Amino acid sequence: MTNTSPIPPGDDPDGPLESRSGSDRRRVRSGVVAGALTALVALAACGSGSESTTTTTVEVPATTAATAADPAYLDPSVPVDERVEDLLGRMTLDEKLGQMTLVEKGSISPEEVREYAIGALLSGGGGTPRPNNPEAWREMVGAFQDAALATRLGIPVIYGVDAVHGHNNLRGATIFPHNVGLGATRDPVLVEEIARATAEETAATGIRWNYSPVLAVPQDVRWGRTYEAFGEDPELVSLLGAAVVRGLQGADLAEDTAVVATPKHFVGDGGTGWGTSTVYRIDQGVTLAGEDELRSVHVYPYLAAFETGAVTVMASYSSWENGKVHGDRYLLTDMLRGELGFDGFVVSDWAAVDQVKPGDLYGSIVQSVNAGIDMVMVPSEYELFIRALRGAVTQGDVTEERIDEAVRRILRVKFAMGLFESPMPTSDLLASVGSDEHRALARRAVARSMVLLETDGETLPIATDGGTVLLGGAAAHDVGIQSGGWTISWQGDSGDVAGGTSIFDALTAVSSTIEYDRFGKFDNRTDVAPLGIAVVGERPYAEGRGDSESLVLPGSEVEVIRRMRPKVDKLVVVLITGRPLVLGPEFDSADALVVAWLPGSEGAGIVDVLTGEEAFAGVLPYTWPSSIEALGSLQMGSCDGARYPFGYGLSADGEPLGTVGRCDS
C-alpha cells in the first residue's frame, strides 16, 4: 500500500484548513436517529503492501439506541463502566473504527464525520476557522459536534488542539510564556493558574482536549522543541507537568471548563541524539539511553502526571531499542499499562504511525494498534486508515478484542467528560478569552520567568526618567517574535500575528524618552545616550525545523549589539530565545544581560522587571553551554563545559538567587 504523507500542520492554512462548517444546523441532544440507516462506504479488506478498491455495503442494524427503550448508555445515573459496555455492545465494527480515528478538521466535512462515525477531530497548528475569532471557533466545533450527534448512536466527538502556551491558535487569546520560561519560575502554583486560564479560553471555543503538557526532559538544547519543555531536570518537569494536568482538568472532568490533558510524548523524545533522525537532525531521532536512564529521566515525569489524573497520553515520534515508539509494545503496553498502571487511551502523533514501517501503511497500522495505540491521528487519509484497519481485523492481524479494548478506553474518557450530557461548553465562557485577568496573569508569569545572567550592579533597574533610552532590535517591537512557534500557526511568525504588547509598547507607556531603531543604527544621533536596550533573539520555529547545529544567533541580531554599544553609556541586552545559546564576545560588552525566553503576548512583564516594578526571580532550567563543543560534557549541577550552571540567576544588585554561582569561563 502506498504510504501517503500529508502536509505538516500549518503549511497550508489558507487552503484546506479553512472552516467548512455550515450555518443551517440544529443542536441535537442525544443525537440518535429513529429507523435504520444504510451506509455505503468504500472500505474493504486490504492485505499488507496491497490496496483494494472493492466497495462494501455496510448494513446498520435496525435495532438501534433510537428504537430501544431508555438505553443505558444515555442514562447519566448509570455508572460509567456500565454505560461503556452498553454502548460498546450496540456498535458495529465500522462505528468502532470511527472512534479510533482522529482527523484534522481541514481534511473532513461535518457530513463526512457523520458518514464515517468519526470519533475525534483536531485543529493542527494553523487549523483555524475564518474569521479567526472565538465565535467562529465555536461555530466550527459545533458543526462537527452536531454531525457526530446525528449518527446512529449519537456518540459525540472529542476535539483536540495544541494549546501549549495558551489557546495559541486563536487570535486574541492570551499567549503565555512557553514552558522553558515557566521552568525558570519553578512555581507550580503559577503554572497551575496558567493551565486553568488556558482551559477556560480553550473550552470557550468548544474544545475540551489539549495536547499538553510536554513532559520531555531535553538532554541536548540543539533540539527544536527545547522551549516546549520545562527543563533538563526530571524533578522539575514532574513538578510542573503535574501542575498543568491539575490546572487543565480541574476538580471534575465533567465540568464545562475541564479540558483533558495529554502528557507527551511517551517516551524518550528529550533524549534523542544529534544526527540520529531521518527526518530532521535530532527531532524524531533515536533516544540514546539505556533502560535505567530511560526510566529515571524520561519516564519519571509521567508518574506524577498519571497520579494527578491524566487520562490520555500521546506517543513519541522517537525511536528506542525496538524501533519507533509508536510500534513498541514493550513501552506502550508492558511498561505504560502493565507497570505504570495507565488506564486511559493512547493517541498517536501527527501521521506518526506511518513511520513505523515506511512504505507499508497496512503493516504500520497493524503493528501500532497491536503495540498499544488506541486512537490514530491520521490526520488526513482517514478512509485509507479505516479500510486498512478493517482489513486487519477481517484477516485476523488485529483482533476484535483489541479493537474493543481501544474503543472502551476512548468511550470511558468521553463519558467521564460528560460529553453525552453536555456536548458543547456554555457560551458564557467567551468572555474569558484574552480577558484582563488572564493577561495580568501572563504578565506576572513573564516577570517571574526573567533570568538575569550578568550585571554590573548599577545598571538595573533602569530609570524611565533618566534621559533618552535607545531601544534597538526587531524583537523589541514584535509580538510574533516574542511568542515564538506554536502561535497562530505551527511554526509561528514575526509581526502582529497574535495581538498583545511588545517591549516597545510597554516602554513607551511608562516613558516619553524612548527612541527606537529596529536595526540599532540610530544614525541621527551625535551624542551618547545614557542607556540602551538591545533586544535580540531567535526567529520563531517549531519542532525539527528549529534543530540548530550551531546555537548562535543570526549575524544581523549580533550586529544590533555592536552598533548600539558605542552609542550608549550603559547597555542592557535582552535575549529572546527558546533555549540557551552560544554567546559570542559581543554579549560580554553588555552591562546587564537578561534572558526573557519566549514570553508570549504580554511584553509588559519584561519592562516590569527592567524598571524594578518586579524583582528578578527566575533561574536557569537548563545548563548554559560555554561553546558548541562543550555540549557533550554538560551535566546538570556541574560547571564542566558550562558558562552558567543549572539553577543560576542573579538579583538586580548582582547577588545569586539561591546557592548557585556563575561558572568560570
As a whole number of angstroms, the distance between CA 447 and CA 615 comes to: 8
Q: Where are the alpha helices (DSSP H) in 471-584?
A: 479-483, 503-510, 555-564
Contacts for 301 with CB less than 8 Å, ≥ 6 apart = 215, 217, 234, 237, 238, 241, 263
Q: How many residues does the chain have?
A: 665
Question: Which amino acid, 548?
Answer: S
As a whole number of angstroms, the distance between CA 224 and CA 221 comes to: 8
HSE of 283, CA atoms in CB hemisphere, 13 A: 18
Compute and round to an integer the Cα radius of gyration of the chain. Answer: 26
Residue pair 310/243 in contact (Cβ under 8 Å)? The answer is: no
As a whole number of angstroms, the distance between CA 164 and CA 520 comes to: 33
Neighbours of 452 (CB within 10 A): 25
Which of the residues 374, 538, 543, 557 is marked catalytic?
A: 543
As a whole number of angstroms, the distance between CA 177 and CA 51 comes to: 46
Contacts for 633 with CB less than 8 Å, ≥ 6 apart = 640, 641
Query: Closest Cα partner for 128 from 137, 116, 115, 141?
Result: 137
Residue pair 161/207 in contact (Cβ under 8 Å)? The answer is: yes
Count Cβ atoms within 10 A of the Cβ of residue 172 and give its class: 0-12 exposed, 13-18 middle, 19 or more buried. middle
The verdict on whether 235 is a catalytic residue reads no
As a whole number of angstroms, the distance between CA 121 and CA 150 comes to: 16
Sign of CA dihedral 573, 576, 579, 582: negative
Residue pair 195/247 in contact (Cβ under 8 Å)? The answer is: yes
As a whole number of angstroms, the distance between CA 486 and CA 72 comes to: 42
As a whole number of angstroms, the distance between CA 149 and CA 580 comes to: 48
As a whole number of angstroms, the distance between CA 73 and CA 100 comes to: 19
Beta strands in 543-641 (DSSP E): 568-576, 592-597, 624-625
Question: Which amino acid, 661?
Answer: G
As a whole number of angstroms, the distance between CA 665 and CA 644 comes to: 9
Contacts for 333 with CB less than 8 Å, ≥ 6 apart = 371, 372
As a whole number of angstroms, the distance between CA 199 and CA 201 comes to: 6
Contacts for 337 with CB less than 8 Å, ≥ 6 apart = 343, 372
The verdict on whether 349 is a catalytic residue reads yes
Query: Closest Cα partner for 540 from 474, 476, 472, 486?
Result: 486
Query: Closest Cα partner for 536 from 518, 549, 521?
Result: 518
Which of the residues 283, 349, 547, 591 is marked catalytic?
A: 349
With residue 459 as reference, give the H or E element that holds it: none
Could you tell me which residues are beta bridge partners of residue 166?
A: 164
Question: Which amino acid, 649?
Answer: G
Contacts for 243 with CB less than 8 Å, ≥ 6 apart = 188, 189, 191, 192, 195
* Beta strands at 624-625 and 592-597: parallel, antiparallel or unpaired: unpaired
> Roughly what angle, to the nearest 10 degrees, separates helices 300-308 and 234-249?
20
Phi, psi at 179, each rounded to 5°: -60, -30
Residue positions annotated with a catalytic role: 349, 543
